């Protein structure tokens, strides 16, 4: 089975574990890969809808790992029992939805060693939620797949200081610290996008000021990266 670039980078951040839970599993590829490669011994595949779970079951059977995976229908982390999964993946959903899933299932998230989160949009909302809610970001990756950027965030339960600058929630502090090879391209892409949006925002509005401030922070980051 060949994984997409996005899924490849997600599985690269998953540490060896006993039980991996894949929340919003859809096709089930993350678990199929991790069990086949011995990254985890067993897994739990969940989805809020029956259709995706049926697809996952079909694929888990096809790749002969169905006996190692429990499949469950339900919302977010709620189909899991506390302490059942030592690593939890929540990938392919919006940053806001992932934050809500963590909020509603906090008692379950608390019992996992690591959570691997991959927002499709608004990574900044998710990072802000994490930092303000006692999740500590311990590693990050960014990947470009099909001409789109995807952030992948690995967290543990633990305290993290609020970021001094708004832009850090957008770019990712760890991606900057490690000068990730894609981070400059991402910053350039965001600068271009912000400049474009600003053209259509009234100059005397609060929104204009906020966006202009953020654009300035992005430009400072670009300068820092060029040093
Ligand atoms: C775009 S797919 C992502 C599949 C896979 N995780 C990936 O990254 O490729 C999103 C999946 O999340 C499921 N989903 C959406 N909201 C959910 C929730 N609150 N709890 C569990 N699953 C959810 C959807 O039904 C869908 O199958």
All structural domains of the chain with their residue ranges = 5-162, 163-227
Task: Report the atom number in ligand 1 closest to the C-alpha of 118.
Answer: 8
Handedness of CA 83, 142, 175, 220 (dihedral sign): negative
Ligand 1, pocket residues at CB < 6 Å: 23-26, 46-49, 52, 75-76, 91-93, 97, 101
Q: Whose CA is nearest to atom 3 of ligand 1?
A: 92
Angle at 180 between CA 172 and CA 178, to 5 degrees: 75
13 φ/ψ angles, rounded to the nearest 5 degrees: -90, 0
User: What is 5-162's CATH number?
Assistant: 3.40.50.150
In the chain, which stretches have pLDDT less than 50? Answer: none
Quote the pLDDT of residue 157. Answer: 97
Contact indicator for 101, 90 with CB cutoff of 8 Å? yes
Quote the pLDDT of residue 1. Answer: 87
The residue among 87, 36, 39, 37 whose CA lies nearest residue 66 is: 36
Task: Report the atom number in ligand 1 closest to the C-alpha of 49.
Answer: 25
Taking the CA atoms of residue 196, residue 198, residue 199 and residue 201 in that order, the dihedral angle to the nearest 10 degrees is 140
Quote the pLDDT of residue 75. Answer: 98
Please tell us whether the domain made up of 163-227 is placed in CATH 1.10.287.
yes
Quote the pLDDT of residue 3. Answer: 96
């Amino acid at each position: 089975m060949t994984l997409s670039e996005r899924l490849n980078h997600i599985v690269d951040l998953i540490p060896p574990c006993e039980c991996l839970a894949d929340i919003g599993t859809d096709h089930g590829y993350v678990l199929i890969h991790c069990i086949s490669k011995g990254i985890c011994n067993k897994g739990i595949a969940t989805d809020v809808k029956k259709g995706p779970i049926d697809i996952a079951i079909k694929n888990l059977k096809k790749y002969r790992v169905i006996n190692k995976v429990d499949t469950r229908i339900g919302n977010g982390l709620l189909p899991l029992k506390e302490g059942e999964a030592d690593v939890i993946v929540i990938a392919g959903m919006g940053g806001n939805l992932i934050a809500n899933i963590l909020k509603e299932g906090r008692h379950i998230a608390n019992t996992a060693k690591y959570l691997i989160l991959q927002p499709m949009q608004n990574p900044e909302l998710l990072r802000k939620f994490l930092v303000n809610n006692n999740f500590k970001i311990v590693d990050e990756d960014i990947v470009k797949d099909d001409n789109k950027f995807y952030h992948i965030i690995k967290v543990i339960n633990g305290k993290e200081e609020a970021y001094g600058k708004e832009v850090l929630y957008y770019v990712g502090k760890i991606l900057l610290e490690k000068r990730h090879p894609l981070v400059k391209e991402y910053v350039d892409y965001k600068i271009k996008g912000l400049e474009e949006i600003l053209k259509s925002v009234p100059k005397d509005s609060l929104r204009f000021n906020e966006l202009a401030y953020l654009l300035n922070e992005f430009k400072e980051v670009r300068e820092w990266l060029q040093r």
